[in-house]
Chain A
């Protein structure tokens, strides 16, 4: 994400600790931070979730409204995901239209949700060819201490899981839960030196060379991936990341399930 200057003594401290298998905040290399989820915290939204991943905090809200389907998919509902890195969340975030970091974040979350088929978009058709439910997910970072990818994924999944189609409000039948088929969970790791660590905090993200986000479905199949950062990962490291994504993804799925 952003780049700020970090003192050499702090950087060396983190790197030296990692060599002994310990992280700055006491975690092991593959430990994730504590997850806290509060769903349906916003009454004006059709679904919402406020998620804390350690000291990183993200809120996601869902608005579902009737609209016209795309011409090439006349019987399929619409699902879009946006993200904003607002100045409240970190001194390095600036106001204005979403920058490349926010766009990448939203698109990686979107890819996991879309490709896993989490929302049954075919069930969102109201009148074939004319009207479908359009599902808008908006993600806001509230407090940034690293790993917005997993925090935003969690917030989005929990918000969608808790969402209601507001049929009565628009005279389109009864209110009913948004049809959900599975829970796509992303696991992000970064590389510092030759170490791969799961769920990086802000300091770890700042000194990392490469990042890999892997999203799995309920069966442990891969649904989305994104490598980021100016460094590289070896094929062996990729294998380790994939194993961990399946294992830790299943753990997280249990926590929020």
Chain B
């Protein structure tokens, strides 16, 4: 968010450096059920982001003192792999990943029917294999597909995407250059059936008009991500039907 202006991020025709318009997201690929051991899993690519999510549970909650006698808790661990960014990232949790893990856990807890599993834990692991801006949204998008793949009862699936501002333009789904040299970033996740917001962060500098526009773009795009999520689950489901019949 340093706001350097020596790089042209949006040209005079409104085109971005990767050839997108302001309102286009990067290509999204989602696959459900990609791991053997996990109860549910998903692989997501958004542009150059590559993200894996795995779900274990409901299972016994560790550490014990976190158990809730009335409902299950959702414990998410977001982790960036050492080679996922241009400089090597020191392995292990840092302050950024602890914060992201917390807000993703909270976003997912809204949709999971936690009251069905008192004292249990639903563990969600998000691994960033390759990062190119927007990893928390890609991670949450993958995590909700993995939860559905694990057969965890949910009110809805949560799609997430960011909007932001670069070169003074409000843009959907910032890439790395736009994130580094842009002026604002607004990651958001919604419950598509009601358009309720379950994750929202913002940093940078935006007027009310710009912010409203960014939310508008992101909420619309969340519905597109939602369709791709559902499609991935349908493909996964029909595939396992074939396996059974063979």
Q: Does A227 contact B (CB under 8 A)?
A: yes
The reply to whether B208 and A242 form a contact with Cβ atoms under 8 Å apart is yes
Q: Does A217 contact B (CB under 8 A)?
A: yes
Contacts of B174 in A (CB 8 A): none
Select which of B95, B110, B207, B208 is within 8 A of A107 by beta carbon.
Answer: B95
A246 to B, closest residue via Cβ: B208
Q: Is the interface of A mostly helix, strand, loop or mixed?
A: mixed
The reply to whether A221 and B98 form a contact with Cβ atoms under 8 Å apart is no
Select which of A100, A103, A217 is within 8 A of B205 by beta carbon.
Answer: A217
Q: Nearest-CB distance from A158 to chain B (Å)? A: 22
Q: Does B7 contact A (CB under 8 A)?
A: no
The reply to whether B204 and A227 form a contact with Cβ atoms under 8 Å apart is no
Query: Which one of A104, A106, A226, A232 has the greatest number of beta carbons of chain B within 10 Å?
Result: A232
A232 to B95, CA, bound (A): 24
The reply to whether B99 and A100 form a contact with Cβ atoms under 8 Å apart is yes
Known contacts A111-B203, A222-B208, A235-B197; A228/B106 CB under 8 A: yes
Contacts of B101 in A (CB 8 A): 100
Query: Which one of B203, B208, B211 has the greatest number of beta carbons of chain A within 10 Å?
Result: B203
Contacts of A116 in B (CB 8 A): 205
Q: Does B36 contact A (CB under 8 A)?
A: no
A223 to B183, CA, bound (A): 10
The 8 A CB mask of A109-134 against B (1 = contact, 0 = none) is 00100111000000000000000000
Q: Does B196 contact A (CB under 8 A)?
A: yes
**For residues 218 through 245 of chain B, which have their beta carbon under 8 Å from a beta carbon of chain A?**
219
Contacts of A224 in B (CB 8 A): 202-203
The 8 A CB mask of B73-116 against A (1 = contact, 0 = none) is 00000000000000000000001101101110010011000000
B2 to A, closest residue via Cβ: A73
Contacts of A220 in B (CB 8 A): 208
Q: Nearest-CB distance from A139 to chain B (Å)? A: 14
Question: Which 8 A-B residue pairs are closest in the complex by CB-CB distance?
Answer: A225-B202, A232-B196, A227-B200, A230-B109, A100-B102, A115-B203, A232-B198, A222-B206
